Amino acid sequence: MVKATRGVLVTCDAAVKQILLQLDENAGRRRFIIADLDETHVLISPDAVERVRAELEDALEANHWNPLAVEEQ
């Protein structure tokens, strides 16, 4: 029997996917990844899209290095 699950397909590069997997692992009971499809695709819960977007943006900003900011100091 076929089982259908509603979700949002996320396409990203491998580095961002690893961040998503880490965020999901740290989410505890609020995990959002439904299926890890391949190296550039994951299926996430539609209810978690905005939360995941915000958390991913924060994670990317925290990991961003700005060489100009170093020179200004």
71 in any annotated domain: no
Please report which confidence band the pLDDT of residue 57 belongs to, taking 50, 70 and 90 as the band edges.
very high
Per-residue pLDDT tens digits for 15-52: 999 999 999 999 999 999 999 999 999 999 999 999 99
In the block, tokens 């029997």 appear at 1
CATH code of the domain covering residue 47:
3.30.70.1220
The pTM (predicted TM-score) of the whole model is 0.80
Q: For residue 43, give every residue at least 6 positions away whose Cβ sits within 8 Å of its Cβ, in sequence order, or none.
A: 5, 7, 8, 9, 10, 33, 34, 35, 37
**pLDDT at site 25:** 96
Range of the domain at 27: 8-65
- The C-alpha R_g of the chain, in whole angstroms, comes to 15
- The total of structural domains in the chain comes to 1
d(CA 57, CA 48): 14
In this predicted structure, the answer to whether residue 72 has a pLDDT above a threshold of 70 is no
61 in any annotated domain: yes
40 in any annotated domain: yes
In this predicted structure, the answer to whether residue 66 has a pLDDT above a threshold of 90 is no
**pLDDT at site 65:** 77
